[in-house]
Amino acid sequence: MYDPLVDAPPGPHDAPEPSYWQQHTQADFPECVDAPEQVEFAVVGAGYTGLNAARVLAENGHSVAVFEANQLAWGCSSRNAGFVMKSTGRLGLSAWAERLGTDIAQGIAAEHQKALQLVEDNVQACPQQCQRQNGGYLKIAHRASAVAPLKQQYEQLKQFDQPVEWLTQEQLTDIIDSPQAHAALRFTDCFALNPMLLAAATARRAAAAGAQLVEHCPVTQAVSLGSKGVYLQTAKGAVRARKLLVCSNGYTSGQLLPELASRSLPVLSSIITTPPLSKEQIESIKLSPQYAVMDTRILKYYFRLLPDNRLLFGGRGAIQGKSAANPVYAKRLLQALHQTFPQLRNVNKWEHFWSGWVSVSLDDYPRVGKVKDNIYASMGYCGAGVSFTALAGQRLAEAAMEQPLPELPYYQSQLKPFPLPRFRRLGQWLYYHYGRLRD
């Protein structure tokens, strides 16, 4: 698999990932166009971030072209688990309050709420409502000692007026039967959907607003020319633009822009799906498709029952792209699934196994804004971007249009460079060992 820390930008004809969504979704993506030679705003990457940014720019009357290395939404935006959560990065509201005070935490909560509203607009643009499932997002205490900190998080979220519910182990037994479910925090306004349908709806809105969508067209070089804008080398020729928005996120090749090269750690998240479960198997685990579930581990597992009764189960994957498709990682997920649901021990194969690159930032939260003259970027969502990208795209477009952004940490500084960036993966490997011991 393409590896951002090793390879030149992906494309132009990398195969789509063999995901469940890829194989089971009839998604209606809009027609793409030829690459223009000149455009006001050029966007790199047609995932949710790039497509939302392009739509906002087009709606504001600007000419904008999105250059996607492969087919539209080839990256995370067509292969995630479809959890629409009200968060991004890895810091909760109480962590923000401790770091920077309650006002900042409230401001961040308001941004997350806005992101949820914006993603809702994209969902509404899909005739199938992106196959949404409305039961909420459950964060489950995977062991008894995780209950107290989770309860504390619940109390703190209540103070921020978040719509959350506390489920005791007894209440939880009606929703999920697992030895690794000791209590849960339920985010009632979060939901789950089909990410591929969301990508297609977002792309259609961008195209309808006038954005030019160009696929199979990797940008291989990007140079700021000061007052003369930016020069892009693409697989389909040179392009001149006034400004460039880098929305390639976890897929950003270290070779694209030196300014971004050491500021993100691309991390693989992997998913398996089981064959469709029988009625008896589903009754034995009690899970219904309306819930999106994640646990409290350091190295988290997440799962949901899909509308066609397959269980989707995800977690961390390989460290290097060349190992991403190694079945050993699918087997590990299957083992974790068995630990979560011993009732499913007789499910001993997976039907789909796939992975994607998420961008992890050094200090656990994303940045959206200017990188250097004429160049803007949004990345570092740490694996939580399905809802946030709707807002990040908008904020990035606003920054590129030189409109002021809210005075919040996401928008006020650049991603921090990793110290000793060549050893990022060694650090990741050590962290995985630490996480495994702690969990």
Ligand X SMILES: Cc1cc2nc3c(=O)[nH]c(=O)nc-3n(C[C@H](O)[C@H](O)[C@H](O)COP(=O)(O)OP(=O)(O)OC[C@H]3O[C@@H](n4cnc5c(N)ncnc54)[C@H](O)[C@@H]3O)c2cc1C
Write the burial class of residue 169 (CB in 10 Å: 0-12 exposed, 13-18 middle, 19+ buried): middle
C-alpha neighbours within 13 Å on the C-beta side of residue 86: 25
- By CB under 6 A, the count of residues binding ligand X is 44
Helix axes 102-124, 195-209, angle to 10 degrees: 80
* Comparison of 383 and 409: residue with beta carbon closer to ligand X: 383
Of 266, 314, 321, 409, which one interacts with ligand X (CB under 6 A)? 314
Instruction: Give the H or E element holding residue 97.
Output: helix 93-100
CA gyration radius, the chain: 21
Q: Check residue 291 for interaction with ligand X (CB under 6 A).
A: no
* Comparison of 60 and 221: residue with beta carbon closer to ligand X: 221
* Comparison of 352 and 424: residue with beta carbon closer to ligand X: 352
Q: Do 120 and 190 contact (CB within 8 A), yes or no?
A: no
Q: Check residue 218 for interaction with ligand X (CB under 6 A).
A: yes
* Comparison of 369 and 383: residue with beta carbon closer to ligand X: 383
Residues 336-395 interacting with ligand X (rule: CB under 6 A): 356, 358, 381, 383-386, 389
Q: Check residue 49 for interaction with ligand X (CB under 6 A).
A: yes
Of 25, 80, 153, 194, which one interacts with ligand X (CB under 6 A)? 80
Of 41, 83, 329, 411, which one interacts with ligand X (CB under 6 A)? 83
CA 321 centroid distance within chain: 18
Residue 15 CB contacts under 8 Å (≥ 6 apart), including other chains? none
DSSP letter for 82, please: -
User: How distant, in Å, are the alpha carbons of 105, 281, 367 from that of 376?
Assistant: 25, 49, 10
Shortest distance (Å) from residue 71 CB to ligand X = 8
* Comparison of 147 and 399: residue with beta carbon closer to ligand X: 399
| Site track 252-281 with ligand X (rule: CB under 6 A), x = hit | xx--x------------x-x----------
Residues 386-425 interacting with ligand X (rule: CB under 6 A): 386, 389
Q: Check residue 212 for interaction with ligand X (CB under 6 A).
A: no
> Cα–Cα–Cα angle for 6, 195, 165, nearest 5°?
110
Q: Check residue 122 for interaction with ligand X (CB under 6 A).
A: no
Q: Which of 88, 86, 109, 143 is nearest to 298 (CA)?
A: 143
Write the burial class of residue 229 (CB in 10 Å: 0-12 exposed, 13-18 middle, 19+ buried): buried
Q: Check residue 247 for interaction with ligand X (CB under 6 A).
A: yes
Q: Check residue 43 for interaction with ligand X (CB under 6 A).
A: no
Q: Do 405 and 384 contact (CB within 8 A), yes or no?
A: no
What token pair was written down for 72? 């539209």
Q: In this chain, which stretch among 39-47, 155-163, 175-183, 323-331 interacts with ligand X, using CB under 6 A? A: 39-47
Residues lying near ligand X in the complex (CB under 6 A)? 9-10, 44-50, 67-70, 74-77, 79-83, 85, 218-219, 247-253, 256, 269, 271, 314, 356, 358, 381, 383-386, 389
